[in-house]
């Protein structure tokens, strides 16, 4: 297990404050946050590239806070590959093992295992300048894996790649995780990648951890307006909550009232994820406690979905599939019915 306790580091123009994290052995842990949040710096402090000013880093019951990088059983992969341009792919992969003085037999064994896992046998003789972005990233992953690290740190490993190649590398990361059961800490600013890969997620902002939990809980139950915005809640309203028979009656502006399954009372932020809202041209026969009618004021296309803005007295953002959009033949200015369950309303 990796335990980070009260970790702080001041690097001049950037500082981290009181970072506390626990990452279980064999876990895929994602640190999610905007650009400039300090995600890469945190990885570099864990790896020993930068020193901590206070706090502890304990890996498998050993305090590694002050150990140099070479004495930490940790490998790190950056988004820009950092392959040695004068070495072939094979020599790049073997470089760390050679530097550590492993026997030729062990070097060949580990290299073969990593190469087969990432299926890069056909590029071993090539130099980095001749490789595609995906090939470079596979070579970089192999170079990290051959060191048999206790923790594998990934710094935005797919952000520099085109979308089809990103998909392939994400599949490779899943395969690495499944077949090696290695502990992975992956930083990204992409919500989609965090959900697809992470068992647990930490949200980071300006050098601080704002929330930690399994991906479902963090995305559905954000603990602050910042986290709600960052994880895509989209619909966030100032509201007043009053408890009544086990549910919360939540009053939004213009006297619109919705229900939430919550024990929070008083002034709150009411959050509703856009994919939790059902859409119909006719009144909805649903178990959802919240029914609204409104007019579509904007339609926009996303990569795999359609997003509607609907004026119901409050402006709601709704996400539907492209098939549903086509089947309903929706248009701006059209009246539609919306429904969502009380469990879809999260109060902060």
**Model pLDDT, residue 97:** 94
**Model pLDDT, residue 240:** 95
Q: Give phi and psi for 95, each to the nearest 5.
A: -55, -50
Q: What is the pLDDT of residues 212-230, one digit of tens each?
A: 999 989 999 999 999 999 9
Under the phi-then-psi rule, with left for phi > 0, alpha for psi from -120 to 50, and beta for the rest, what region is 254?
Answer: left
* For range 25-29, the mean pLDDT: 96
Strand order of the sheet with strand 257-260? 257-260, 247-251, 235-244, 266-272, 345-347
**Domain architecture of the chain: domains with CATH:** 2-225 (3.40.50.300), 233-347 (2.40.50.100)
Q: What is the pLDDT of residues 51-74, one digit of tens each?
A: 999 999 999 999 999 999 999 999
Distance CA 194, CA 159 (A): 13
Comparing 239 with 288, the larger pLDDT belongs to 239
Q: What is the pLDDT of residues 263-296, one digit of tens each?
A: 999 999 999 999 999 999 998 876 667 999 999 9
pLDDT at 246 over 90: no
Q: In the chain, what percentage of residues exceed pLDDT 90?
A: 84
* For range 172-193, the mean pLDDT: 93
Comparing 185 with 302, the larger pLDDT belongs to 185
Distance CA 289, CA 259 (A): 7
Distance CA 326, CA 343 (A): 28
**Model pLDDT, residue 255:** 81
Return mean pLDDT, the chain: 93
Joined together, the tokens standing for residue 66 give 């002050």
pLDDT at 149 over 80: yes
Distance CA 139, CA 81 (A): 8
Q: What is the pLDDT of residues 309-322, one digit of tens each?
A: 999 999 999 999 99
**Model pLDDT, residue 77:** 93
Q: What's the pLDDT band for 108 if we cut at 50, 70, 90? A: very high
The answer to whether 213 touches 201, Cβ cutoff 8 Å, is: yes
pLDDT at 22 over 90: yes
**Model pLDDT, residue 153:** 97
Q: What's the pLDDT band for 249 if we cut at 50, 70, 90? A: very high
* For range 21-46, the mean pLDDT: 95
Q: Which residue has the tokens 């139950």?
A: 221
């Amino acid at each position: 297990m990796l335990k980070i306790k009260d970790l702080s580091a001041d690097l001049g123009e950037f500082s981290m404050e009181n970072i506390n994290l626990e990452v279980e052995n064999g876990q895929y842990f994602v640190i999610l946050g905007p650009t400039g949040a300090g995600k890469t710096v945190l990885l570099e402090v864990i790896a020993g590239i930068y020193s901590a000013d206070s706090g502890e880093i304990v890996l498998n019951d050993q305090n590694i806070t002050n150990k140099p990088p070479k004495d930490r059983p940790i490998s790190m992969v950056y988004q820009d590959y950092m392959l040695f341009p004068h070495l072939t792919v094979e020599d790049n992969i073997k470089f760390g093992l050679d530097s550590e003085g492993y026997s030729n037999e062990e070097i060949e064994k580990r290299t073969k295992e990593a190469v087969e896992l990432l299926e890069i046998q056909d590029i071993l003789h090539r130099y980095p300048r001749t490789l595609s972005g995906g090939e470079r990233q596979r070579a970089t992953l192999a170079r990290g894996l051959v060191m048999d690290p206790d923790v594998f740190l990934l710094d935005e490993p797919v952000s520099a790649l085109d979308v089809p190649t990103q998909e392939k590398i994400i599949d490779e990361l899943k395969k690495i995780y499944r077949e090696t059961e290695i502990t992975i800490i992956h930083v990204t600013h992409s919500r989609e990648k965090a959900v697809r890969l992470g068992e647990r997620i930490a949200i980071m902002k300006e050098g601080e951890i704002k929330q930690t939990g399994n991906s479902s809980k963090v995305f559905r139950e954000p603990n602050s307006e910042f986290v709600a915005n960052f994880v895509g809640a989209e619909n966030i309203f100032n509201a007043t909550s009053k408890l009544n028979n086990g549910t919360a009656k939540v009053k939004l502006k213009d006297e619109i009232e919705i229900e939430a399954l919550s024990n929070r009372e008083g002034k709150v932020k009411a959050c509703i994820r856009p994919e939790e809202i059902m859409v119909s041209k006719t009144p909805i026969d649903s178990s959802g406690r919240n029914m609204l009618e409104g007019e579509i004021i904007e339609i926009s296309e996303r990569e795999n979905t359609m997003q509607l803005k609907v004026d119901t007295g409050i402006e709601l953002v709704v996400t539907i599939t492209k098939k549903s959009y086509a089947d309903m033949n929706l248009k701006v200015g059209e009246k539609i019915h919306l429904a969502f369950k009380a469990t879809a309303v999260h109060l902060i």
